[in-house]
Amino acid sequence: MIEVSGLSFSYPHAARPVLKDVSFDCAAGELVIVAGPSGGGKSTLLRCLNGLIPHFHGGAYAGQVLIGGRDTRTHQPRDLAGVVGMVFQDPESQMVAETVEDELAFGMESLGVAPVTMRKRVEEALDLLRLNSLRYRRIETLSGGELQRVAIAAVLTMQPRALLLDEPTSQLDPQAAEELLTTVQRLNDDLGLTVLIAEHRLERVAQYADRVLYVAGDGTVHASGVREAMATMPMAPPVARLGRALGWSPLPLSVREGRRFVDGFDKQRTPGPQNVPRPRGEVTIELRNLGVSYGEIAALRGVTLDVYAGEITLVMGRNGAGKTTLLRALVGLVAASAGAVLVLGQDVAARQTEELAREVALVPQRPENALYKQTVAEEIKETLSVAGRVGSVEETLAEWSLESLRGAHPADVSAGERQRVALAAMLAGRPPVVLLDEPTRGMDYETKELLVANLRRRCREGATVLLASHDVELAGRCADRVVLLSDGEVAVDGPAREVLTDSLTFSTQVNKLLGGSYLTPEDVLGDYGGAR
């Protein structure tokens, strides 16, 4: 189905090629993970497979890519639309219509599909991705996760023979991600759809895959079996990392496969002193019966919450639960329809956004919304100047390991690198209140560890950190406290080690495997060392 021979590609003015003499085949009906570090070339590889490279992106291109027998060099992306469909890392960029239903029909209209067939496929896609309730919603009112599902549904209506998904679960809550991947697996099994998934959250996809293409970041791409890849790659899901450390064989790819190895573990042991909660600081954020509405839609209802200095609080919940709205309310970007918001003892409604920005930093879900200068260094310098914070560009670059990108344009780096640039730019000068909306979108495991280390250091220095995220594994690694939102209301609020245990949806892989109070492989290895 997919044949790649001697593929090389370099972006204009790049110091080195992103892809160098890459060759591999994918048979019809295979489900393949495309893995690798942030900025390594995963998205570039997918764009080579759907014809955007070489027809849309400039640069030096060599080699051959055949999709269903069609050469991407001689066929424009529009000629390949019925053969290969792609969902981008930022689904917002794919939207062209005003409503969900119209978005699902747009691609078929462009292909000249008969009206009766179009109607049938729209209904099937709405059912498949559980979008019936959103059928008539305007695109601009959708949450990031809802946009992601709509983008996938719109591609599926064109019934391609190959489906390319770039970080398809990055904005989905755990349940929606599982439902999506189950749907993709069903399409793969029942219809023989060839699927390539570029994904950093390997714990979500490893169990479904036949093979892995590891994009190493040096231009090379290595193909291997999924179990072999999880045993050798620098990154791996938590259960596989635990199995590697404890010598389990065959290496488990899922919680189900890991259960055969855990009979000898005392699952009720309490993890060691490294996980004892830190003492709370003063209250820095106060929400009192907060309500926020968008027209007739109530995004938040009666939210009462205190957030403390020196603590990492993570807000979770289904897509559309109100997480982004809550963060935006804290900086005055949306007005409260009821109740009050106090930050650092002052009512947000009585303060100008520019004034708040000196003390409160919000990194949005779409990092490009916060980036507008010509280089990474200029972005950091601009924040320090406009927000009136004390700090240096060099110190900030070093904190986020961005020295090599100081002169790069933020639009020219990968999605994961752009996320890191936004973090560096918005958090420059160490503001006392840090708000992050889906900060791990596009991040590999190594970069997540950098994020966790930086946030913990900020908390030790007295900062308040409030994150909205669907990343359960991130929550297990760094959160002191977890707040679950449901339909705009606080459903659960408690210590992370309590909220993230014994849950079908919001438990980590290790907790699902071992139960008790364990959340991460480090919890287990700290207690059991190398015992087998």
Binned at pLDDT 50, 70 and 90, residue 527 comes out as low
Answer with the one of 388, 408, 431 that is the final residue of a domain.
Answer: 431
Percentage of the chain exceeding pLDDT 70? 96
**Does 223 share its domain with 342?**
no
Report d(CA 308, CA 233) in Å as an integer.
38
Q: Which residue has the higher pLDDT, 341 or 267?
A: 341
Q: Domain for residue 270, yes or no?
A: no
Residue 512 lies in a domain: no
Per the structure, the count of domains in the chain is 3
CB 169 within 8 A of CB 145: no
More confident residue, 353 or 99: 99
Residue 113 falls within a domain, yes or no?
A: yes
What pLDDT is recorded for position 491?
A: 94
Q: What is the pLDDT of residues 148-175, one digit of tens each?
A: 889 989 998 988 999 999 988 877 888 8
pLDDT value for 276: 54
Indicate if 333 and 421 belong to the same structural domain. Answer: no
- Over residues 89-105, the mean pLDDT reads 89
Is there a domain that residue 48 lies in?
Answer: yes
Peptide bond just before 250 cis, omega within 30 deg: yes
Q: Are residues 330 and 184 in the same domain?
A: no
Is the pLDDT score of 304 beyond 70?
A: yes
Least confident span in 274-288, 416-430, 504-518? 274-288
Q: Cα dihedral sign for 520, 523, 525, 531?
A: negative
Does residue 270 register a pLDDT over 80? Answer: no
Which residues have a Cβ under 8 Å from the Cβ of 209 and sit 6 or more positions away?
31, 32, 33, 197, 226
- Asked if 190 and 177 sit in the same domain, the reply is yes
Does residue 518 lie within any of the structural domains?
no
Predicted local distance difference test score (pLDDT) of residue 267: 56
pLDDT at 81 over 90: no
Q: Do residues 186 and 216 both lie within one domain?
A: yes
Residue 402 belongs to domain spanning: 362-431
Q: What is the CATH number of the domain that holds 103?
A: 3.40.50.300
- Contact status, residue 310 vs residue 283, Cβ threshold 8 Å: no
Q: Report the pLDDT value the prediction gives residue 264, as an integer from 0 to 100.
A: 63
The full 3-state SS of 152-194, as one line of letters, equals: HHHHHCCCCCEEEEECCCCCCCHHHHHHHHHHHHHHHHHHCCE
Least confident interval from 242-251, 303-312, 497-506: 497-506
Q: Are residues 237 and 111 in the same domain?
A: yes
- Mean of pLDDT values over 448-458: 94
Mean pLDDT value of segment 282-286 = 95
Q: Is residue 8 part of a domain?
A: no
Helix axes 144-156, 100-111, angle to 10 degrees: 30
Q: Are residues 184 and 89 in the same domain?
A: yes
Residues 347 and 422 in one domain: no
Average pLDDT of the residues in 255-272: 72
Q: Look at phi and psi of residue 401 and say left if phi exceeds 0, alpha if psi is from -120 to 50, else beta.
A: left
Task: Provide the strand spans (E) within 344-425.
Answer: 346-347, 360-363
- Around Cβ 179, how many Cβ atoms within 10 Å? 16
Q: Note the pLDDT tens digit of each residue in 347-356.
A: 999 888 778 8
H-run or E-run covering 3? strand 2-10
Same domain membership, residue 334 and residue 369: no
Tell me if residue 121 falls in helix, strand or coil.
Answer: helix
Phi, psi of 307 (to 5 degrees): -120, 140
Contact 289, 303 (CB under 8 A): yes
pLDDT for 172 equals 80
**Does one domain contain both 288 and 246?**
no
CA distances to 47, 61, 73, 232, 410 from 57, in Å: 9, 10, 12, 33, 17
Q: Is the pLDDT of residue 274 over 70?
A: no
Contacts of 249 (CB under 8 A, 6+ apart): none
26, 2 contact by CB (below 8 A): yes
172 backbone dihedrals φ, ψ, rounded to 5°: -100, 145
Residues 60-69, mean pLDDT to the nearest whole number: 94
Task: Give the pLDDT score at 305.
Answer: 95
pLDDT higher than threshold 90 for residue 115: yes
Dmax (CA) for the chain in angstroms is 65
Last residue of a domain, one of 257, 292, 322: 257
Residues 181-201 have pLDDT tens digits of: 888 888 888 888 999 999 888
Task: Please give the average per-residue pLDDT across 2-20, as a whole number.
Answer: 92
pLDDT tier at 63 (50, 70, 90 boundaries)?
A: very high
Percent of the chain with pLDDT over 90: 63
Between helices 521-528 and 238-246, what is the axis angle to 10°? 20
Q: Where are the alpha helices (DSSP H) in 249-322?
A: 255-258
Q: Tell me what pLDDT residue 273 has.
A: 42
The whole model's pTM is what? 0.84
Residue 1 inside a domain? The answer is: no
Amino acid 272: pLDDT? 47
Torsion angle of C-alpha atoms 467, 473, 476, 481, degrees rounded to 10: 30
Mean pLDDT to the nearest integer, 385-413: 92
pLDDT at 262: 86
> Are both 307 and 350 inside the same structural domain?
yes
What pLDDT band is residue 416 in, cutting at 50, 70 and 90? confident
- Residue 279 pLDDT: 66
Indicate if 173 and 81 belong to the same structural domain: yes
Over range 12-37, report the average pLDDT. 92
Across the chain, mean pLDDT equals 89
Is residue 87 in some structural domain?
A: yes
